[in-house]
Amino acid sequence: MPTTTFPELPRIHLGQQSAKMRSWISTRLWAQVMVGLVLGIVTGLVFGPETGLVSADTARWLGAWLALPGQLFLGLIAMVLVPLVFASIIGGLTGSGSGEALQRIGLRFAVFVIATTFAAAGIGIALATLFRPGAGLAGSVAVADPADIPESDPAFFDLSMAPEIISGILPNNPTASVVQGDLMAIVVFALLIGIAGTQVPRDKITPFLSVLDALLSICMTIVKWAMFLAPLAVFGMMAQLVMRVGLDTLIGVSAYVGTVLLGLLLLFLLYLVILAVFGRTTPATFFRQAGETLLLAFSTSSSTAVMPSTVQSAKKLGVPRQVANLVAPLGATMNMAGTALYQSVAILFLAQMSGIDLNAGQIVLITVTLVASSIGAPGTPGVSIAILVSVAAGFGIPADGMVIVMGVDRLLDMSRTTVNVTGDLTASTLLRNVTVPASPAPAQS
């Protein structure tokens, strides 16, 4: 009988493959972040309330230490956030070359933000009305500790206060805004300075722009240092989250969490469709160029913290530097469609738990209020809770169920921040083809 010869199978050297895997992970920040994310979840489950290996006090102590790199990461970013936003916006505005180009960018960006935020709130209202996630928890609402819920001001939503609110947008004391961390006021101040800079002769403003450029470079260097902590930050913050909340709590409110996540997924897919149809960017290209930024957004729950990475991803997507430096800071402050979707589901969830049936007119008014509240909300963790409490109080919805919403807010905060950053990159990509005339050369002395 003829001898059958089988081809020799390739030998797999486990040691070599392991070395390649370590090298691959060490050169890719997103891979390090993913490893930290998985290890953080596992660590949180091991020391969480389900296993009982450690007491609740020990778990809190351990969680605080594990989250220390995350706190340092966010602290480094927060330290340079104000000068970074200030320099980026002014540099983007003055680098736009002409008021006409600036006007085209600003108007298109405003239309994008308003349209997508209304669409997001509509998706959230529709899903919450369809699935009614709060109906199953009616009558079983625990009363939240008032000390854990930010105070609300129902008068904020009184239409008679609209003139005062609009005039209050202008920062009377920019220095105080910097000290208080009022990012919206800083953005408005930077916008005014940048627009005024386009009307000043180039030779007079060049020294000021040189200082801002140096400041921006220094801030970006500090941000690069902070990125070394990103994997440890993700590990510690995720471990602390799972240890504090526990798996049972997440499962108990799965209907509410699932409704929000489904809405965010639909909004995310909407952004991908917009990118493909209008931005001529395939999903594969988008994920390849922006994957690390989205992972960082998910892990830090802060669109402002990852703003430098958002600018870099926008540049990789072919967005001109002037457009990226302008749109990314504005998007991190004003483009909060994911937050509007989350809040629309959450407020109907609270109403359903309390047995309140909202009519069509009230739902429309809530939608408008959420859109107005979301645009300009600081992109930092926990801000959405304060907005949600204020909107609920303005419409007479009891806040007793906020303890449930707050219990799973961190998980949903990470998800909606990822969608918000996706929206910022989508807006930047759509605006990349806006004609930006070259800036005139500075006068020689």
Which positions ≥6 away from 21 have C-beta within 8 Å? none
Q: Is the separation of the CB atoms in 403 and 148 below 8 Å?
A: yes
Q: At what angle do helices 409-430 and 254-277 cross, to 10 degrees?
A: 10
Q: Is the separation of the CB atoms in 150 and 386 below 8 Å?
A: yes
Block residue for tokens 């206060």: 161
C-alpha atoms less than 13 angstroms from C-alpha of 439 in its C-beta half-sphere? 23
DSSP 157: G
Block residue for tokens 């809405």: 263
What's 29-430's CATH class?
Answer: mainly alpha
Query: What does the pLDDT average to over 155-166?
Result: 53
Token code pair at residue 127: 């899903």
Which positions ≥6 away from 210 have C-beta within 8 Å? none
Backbone angles phi, psi at 260, to 5 degrees: -65, -45
At 214, the pLDDT band (50, 70, 90 cuts) reads: confident
At 379, the pLDDT band (50, 70, 90 cuts) reads: very low
Backbone angles phi, psi at 373, to 5 degrees: -75, -35
Q: At what angle do helices 321-334 and 68-94 cross, to 10 degrees?
A: 120
pLDDT at 437 over 50: no
Among 42-51, 74-83, 396-405, the minimum mean pLDDT is found in: 396-405
Q: DSSP H helical segments within 278-408, as ranges?
A: 283-300, 307-316, 321-334, 337-353, 360-374, 383-394, 402-407
pLDDT at 115 over 80: yes
Among candidates 416, 374, 278, 305, which has minimal Cα distance to 74? Answer: 305
Distance between CA atoms of residues 64 and 172, nearest Å:
38
Which positions ≥6 away from 7 have C-beta within 8 Å? none
pLDDT at 227 over 90: no
Among 58-62, 127-131, 183-187, the minimum mean pLDDT is found in: 183-187
Question: Which tens digit of pLDDT belongs to each residue from 404-432?
Answer: 676 567 778 888 889 999 999 999 999 88
Buried-state track 283-303, b at ≥16 Cβ within 10 A, e below 16: eebbeebbbbbbbbbbbbbbb
pLDDT at 156 over 70: no
- Say how many C-beta atoms besides its own lie within 10 A of residue 152's C-beta: 18
Tallying the residues shown for the chain, one arrives at 445
pTM (whole model) above 0.75: no
Radius of gyration of the chain (CA): 24
Token code pair at residue 6: 């089988």
Domain boundaries, the chain: 29-430
Amino acid at 68: L
Q: Is the separation of the CB atoms in 256 and 349 below 8 Å?
A: yes
Q: Is the separation of the CB atoms in 311 and 216 below 8 Å?
A: no
Residue 272, pLDDT score:
95
Token code pair at residue 249: 């709590």
Q: Would you state the torsion angle of the CA atoms of residues 293, 298, 303, 307, taken in this order, to the nearest 10 degrees?
A: -20
Q: How far is CA 242 from CA 32, 44, 60, 246, in A?
A: 19, 5, 11, 5
pLDDT at 273 over 90: yes
Block residue for tokens 């953080």: 40
Distance between CA atoms of residues 168 and 209, nearest Å:
28
Residue 330, pLDDT score:
77
Q: What rounded mean pLDDT belongs to the chain?
A: 74
